[in-house]
Amino acid sequence: MSESTVKTNEKGYNRNTSKPVHSVPDNACDCHMHIVGPFKNYPKRELGSLNPPESLLEDYLGVASRIGLKRNVVVQPSFYAKDNSCTLDAVEKLGDRARAIVVVDPSISDNELCQLHTRGVRGVRFQMIAKGGLSFDALETLSRRITLLGWHAQLWLDARDLPELEGRLRQLPVDIVFDHMAHVYESSGMTEPGFRILLKLLEENRCWVKLSNGRFAPDGERAGRLIAVNPERVVWGSDWPHVSHEGDAPDDGVLLDRLWDWAPDAATVRALLVDNPTKLYFTA
């Protein structure tokens, strides 16, 4: 599989977040963001790929309030490896407005998995993009074990890996959620076999896709195509605090406003921000 070289955004999140031009629907959910620190309580565990500055829960809540987000999904970042304490503690402080995606050791017990569920976990993240993540070697084994919990497998990969992975993914007993439009490299194109596989999986209700592409230039064509294929299986995420963004971090208000360019109407925007996240994260 492909392996990307990611670079740390050393400046951290954008401190000058603008309010969205459009009216954000009530109960809108940010389905992909991270909490980083404080490091005195949550030291980084893996610095092989990313070494970002602190971006604290209170920092995120300020941004979320300004742009109109009422719910969020905290995703375990690679630099915390399998130490989920920062992610889980953030969800505990946020209460029922938040859910978590974690990275676990394949040897984790069933009882420990159940305990994670009570703490708001709804999926396990697999990836080979940055050091510290959970490799695809454990994909089948862990997917079988999390089926009864109603969790999903979240994948951080490039669509160019999908021809190699498609057979395995179709055999999984759980839903699949692709990070960042399955788009890691800027050269990953719309006409590649992998992207066609992604569209097919999405059309068949075999997967979900996150429009969380702040690390790249605006990708309206890719986002619009994914929404058109299956608007009931697409969600949005800010990717705050943009730990691997190249250059200055984007304005999250502007990122959110892009949805109105990508989606055909306000009803679809509501599905992406409210209805679909409810089904994926908040019903189990």
Catalytic residues: 239
- Pick left, alpha or beta for residue 271 (phi over 0 → left; psi -120 to 50 → alpha; otherwise beta): alpha
**Amino acid residing at 39:** F
Dihedral pair phi/psi, residue 177, rounded to 5°: -125, 120
How many Cα atoms sit within 13 Å of 136 on the Cβ side? Answer: 18
Integer CA distances (angstroms), 133 to 125, 130, 235, 277, in order: 8, 7, 22, 24
Strand ranges inside the chain, DSSP E: 29-33, 71-75, 98-102, 121-127, 152-156, 175-178, 207-211, 234-236
Helix (H, G, I), strand (E, B) or coil at 126: strand
Helix (H, G, I), strand (E, B) or coil at 268: helix
